[in-house]
Structure 1
Amino acid sequence: MHFAPYSRRALLQQAAVGFGSLALTSLFSQTLAATPPVNPLAAREGHLPARAKRIIFLFMKGGPSHVDTFDPKPLLDRDDGKPFPFDKPRVQFAATGNLLKSPWKFQQHGESGLPVSELFPNVATCVDDLCVINSVHGTNPAHGGALLKLHTGSDNFVRPSIGSWLSYGLGTENADLPAFVTICPTLAHGGINNWGSAFLPAVYQGVPLGNASVPIEQARVRFIENSQIPRDLQQLQLEMLGQANREHQQQSGPEASLEARINSFELAFRMQTAIPKVEDLSDETEATKQLYGIDDPATANFGRMCLLARRFSEQGVRFIQVTHSDSKVQWDQHGDLKNGHEKNAREVDKPIAGLLKDLKARGLLEDTLVWWGGEFGRTPVAEGNNGRDHNPEGFTMWLAGGGVEGGTRYGATDDYGYFAAENKVHIHDLHATILHLMGLDHEKLTYRYAGRDFRLTDVEGNVVREIMS
């Protein structure tokens, strides 16, 4: 039998369908590799030894002023009322004027001598546990973009939140609770996108407990109770759903979206019992409630939120966010800086110190990373006569516990506090460092979507190893 030789062009033409099959097989294998396990929230090991098992993020919505809290600037006091001596950022949120000194005095505290303003007298007693990062910087001067950047690593695309990435990477230590809980989150400036899972399976989305407009005593996980159907019937329904799902998979193969939905139903069923137990503070001593300021109307709301955060962390929840925000006086003092910041600090100072001391007394601070901060800082120059504008160019966050070196300051802004100037820490660097402390390599924690491997830090981020103990 005679076979005519194929030219290279003819071979490619006639074998085209075969090459397409190879590509399709490769695509399927990548898709299946990204499919979550049967129990997507099962606890799993990270890429490297973890210093922290869980995170409590104390989010100060609106942007607290670093030069009035944890970043004293003597030259700002000296040159009050004078023009800012350098060029201001090209993009500003609002028109600003001359330098404005802080209305509050700073003092050194603890064995470390870290400076804290008189706005935070209680947190000042915990400074030897704090690692204060004075050189954080971002890119967006607007609340919406800055919130999304802080929570998701992107200010212009819908991306998974950091809590969702941690849930995806590590799962939860308690099968009856979600890996990610957000307590009284804000519904503004990105809203659910700040705790959403985006293209990650839905099971990794944050579970909100109320929202910022609801007092914590009234906050509940929505639809946590089903008064229409008894629990034994609900369990039977879930078993039937599971059976139908298994039969479907035998015919069509694994389907990640269906698995995520079934898992969310099963988790919701278990949460009906688990969540109310966490919310019930009746077993807490009066001394503990006083430690968090629950006995004081000014601190009761945020104190209860911080106490719930400790209780969720004890029960194995991986990421707990606590948001301080109200619709009238956030940390966004474009005017009336003194009254606004004093009100806000008074509400959170004692509860935050109570949380740190309680975690430490229970031996939880060693493997719990407490993270404090807002979406940006404030300008050292005045907006109007007594306010400060948004400032993403340089601001302060602090970390405590979970493998960071307490009683330290890292980085610095310029002499007046406008720009991060020394050992600058971008939001991507902060995210990379937090993931590292949790045992995750930010370059390896990826998820394939739309033909690309995505990660929290996109294509940037460096771990700040200097702040680690």
Structure 2
Amino acid sequence: MTNAPDILRAARRHFLARGAMSLAPLAAAWASQRDQLLAAPVKPELARQSFDLLPKQPRKTPQATAMISMFMQGGPSQVDLMDPKPELTRLDGQQFPGTIKYDNAAQASSRVLGSPWKFRKHGDCGTPISELLPGLAEIVDDVLVVRSMHTGVNNHGQSIHAMNTGRTQRGRPALGSWLTFGLGAETDELPAYVAMTDPRGLPVEGVLNWSNGWLPSLFQGTVVRPREPRILNLEPPERLRGEVQTNFLDLLTRLNRRHISKRKGELELEARIANFGLAARMQTAAREALDIGRETKATQALYGLDEKATVE
């Protein structure tokens, strides 16, 4: 009769021999999955994502059909325009009683400076408006003034980026890019999002202020310059105009479509193809849209074309 210890020893050897054959693959599989070396289980194919400028239907019907964001870097302070600070006025000229975090201004004075301009409540809403803005004061009931937004930084670059993208970190899409991504465009002949620059130069952060960020380049703002050519690289060279350009674009489209058919999901390539098509259609439409001479005299006067300060 076999004694119990022999049976236990045999059973233990049998278990270890068998277990080594089964546990080793499990351990290897776990390690491979951890190191992302093992293929993930097959999942059902999802609908292929694509991007375009076709009009999108928002969840709620908007009252506005267009948006003009006037970002005026270096403009008057909000403290002098629409955001009165009574406490600053009370402490004007005195030493600030609290602590100050200096940034890029190590020798700055700690004396409080109140606004030299007077404020008065206007309209049925009673919004305080500075004496510097008498015209705005007349329509203040149609204006929404937001005073609750602020950033945690006080230098120009990050604050400007936060104003145009919602965050201080670089790389995020600008507001216009998000709107274009979400709503599309009313026409396929003109860009849905344009950035009109100052004749004196670009703001701090430059093109990042109208960048598409991680969205496809189709949603980046198209720069409209203050002088001719209003849109760079829009007009082809003389030798490529007309039928030559048409044939060239047709060939380019066929080659791009063949290329992308072998590379499903290349969203940036799709955006580039869409940009080529938009640029071709813009050659006529943009020229007409930017030709202010086609407007009536009354409209040109509203544009300020008869005044030296606004003729550009």
TM-score past 0.5 threshold:
yes
Q: Shorter-chain TM-score: which interval?
A: 0.7 to 0.9
Paired AA for residue 135 in structure 2: N
SS for the counterpart of 1:97 is coil
1:14 CA drift (Å): 6.1
Paired AA for residue 160 in structure 1: P
CA-to-partner distance for each residue in 1:390-420, whole Å, 9 max, x for gaps?
A: xxxxxxxxxxxxxxxxxxxxxxxxxxxxxxx
Change (3 A) 1:248 1:101: closer
RMSD of Structure 2 on Structure 1 (CA): 2.9
Report the counterpart of residue 13 of structure 1 in structure 2: 28
Runs of 4+ in 1 over 6 A off after TM superposition: none
The answer to which of 231-240 and 168-177 deviates more is: 231-240
Paired AA for residue 64 in structure 1: P
1:48 CA drift (Å): 4.5
Q: Could you tell me whether the CA contact under 8 Å between 1:93 and 1:141 is conserved in 2? A: no
Q: Could you tell me whether the CA contact under 8 Å between 1:145 and 1:189 is conserved in 2? A: no
Output the CA distance in 1 between the equivalents of 2:311 and 2:263: 53
Counterpart selection for 1:221 from 223, 226, 231: 231
1:141 CA drift (Å): 1.4
Report the counterpart of residue 200 of structure 1 in structure 2: 215
The TM-score normalised by the length of structure 1 is 0.55
Output the CA distance in 1 between the equivalents of 2:248 and 2:143: 49
CA-to-partner distance for each residue in 1:354-409, whole Å, 9 max, x for gaps?
A: xxxxxxxxxxxxxxxxxxxxxxxxxxxxxxxxxxxxxxxxxxxxxxxxxxxxxxxx
1:188 CA drift (Å): 4.1
1:116 CA drift (Å): 1.5
Asked if 1:152 is matched to 2:152, the reply is: no
Change (3 A) 1:126 1:170: same
SS for the counterpart of 1:288 is helix
CA-to-partner distance for each residue in 1:134-156, whole Å, 9 max, x for gaps?
A: 22211221111111122223323
SS for the counterpart of 1:208 is strand
Output the CA distance in 2 between the equivalents of 1:8 and 1:45: 55
Output the CA distance in 2 between the equivalents of 1:120 and 1:134: 17
Paired AA for residue 256 in structure 1: L
Change (3 A) 1:62 1:139: farther
Output the CA distance in 1 between the equivalents of 2:155 and 2:250: 48
Report the counterpart of residue 248 of structure 2 in structure 1: 237
Aligned positions of 1:284-299 closer than 5 A = 284-299=295-310
Paired AA for residue 77 in structure 1: T
SS for the counterpart of 2:68 is strand
Aligned positions of 1:300-379 closer than 5 A = 300-301=311-312
Paired AA for residue 236 in structure 2: N
Q: Could you tell me whether the CA contact under 8 Å between 2:73 and 2:203 is conserved in 1? A: no
1:292 CA drift (Å): 4.0
Output the CA distance in 2 between the equivalents of 1:74 and 1:292: 37
SS for the counterpart of 2:235 is coil
Q: Could you tell me whether the CA contact under 8 Å between 1:62 and 1:143 is conserved in 2? A: no
Output the CA distance in 2 between the equivalents of 1:20 and 1:42: 40
Output the CA distance in 2 between the equivalents of 1:187 and 1:150: 15
Output the CA distance in 1 between the equivalents of 2:195 and 2:67: 11
Asked if 1:113 is matched to 2:126, the reply is: yes
Tell me which structure has the larger Cα radius of gyration. Answer: 2
Structure (1/2) with the larger helix percentage:
2
Counterpart selection for 1:36 from 30, 50, 53: 50
Q: Could you tell me whether the CA contact under 8 Å between 2:260 and 2:269 is conserved in 1? A: no
Change (3 A) 1:60 1:21: same
CA-to-partner distance for each residue in 1:5-60, whole Å, 9 max, x for gaps?
A: 9635424636958983226x66x968x75x424xx111212355444333210111
Change (3 A) 1:10 1:77: closer
Structure (1/2) with the larger strand percentage:
1
CA-to-partner distance for each residue in 1:426-458, whole Å, 9 max, x for gaps?
A: xxxxxxxxxxxxxxxxxxxxxxxxxxxxxxxxx
Output the CA distance in 2 between the equivalents of 1:207 and 1:129: 30
Counterpart selection for 1:183 from 196, 199, 213: 196
Report the counterpart of residue 136 of structure 1 in structure 2: 149
Aligned positions of 1:442-457 closer than 5 A = none
Counterpart selection for 1:276 from 276, 287, 298: 287
Output the CA distance in 1 between the equivalents of 2:137 and 2:114: 21
1:106 CA drift (Å): 2.1
CA-to-partner distance for each residue in 1:319-376, whole Å, 9 max, x for gaps?
A: xxxxxxxxxxxxxxxxxxxxxxxxxxxxxxxxxxxxxxxxxxxxxxxxxxxxxxxxxx
Q: Could you tell me whether the CA contact under 8 Å between 2:53 and 2:185 is conserved in 1? A: yes
1:70 CA drift (Å): 0.6
Output the CA distance in 1 between the equivalents of 2:91 and 2:260: 70
1:200 CA drift (Å): 1.6
Paired AA for residue 276 in structure 1: R
SS for the counterpart of 2:64 is coil
CA-to-partner distance for each residue in 1:209-266, whole Å, 9 max, x for gaps?
A: 11xxxxx354611011113212332222222122222323343434222221111111
Percent pairwise identity: 37
Structure 1: give runs of 5+ residues left out of the alignment: 211-215, 302-469
Output the CA distance in 2 between the equivalents of 1:280 and 1:235: 24
CA-to-partner distance for each residue in 1:110-163, whole Å, 9 max, x for gaps?
A: 333322212222222221110111222112211111111222233233222221
SS for the counterpart of 2:149 is strand
Report the counterpart of residue 177 of structure 2 in structure 1: 164
Change (3 A) 1:184 1:157: closer
Paired AA for residue 150 in structure 1: M
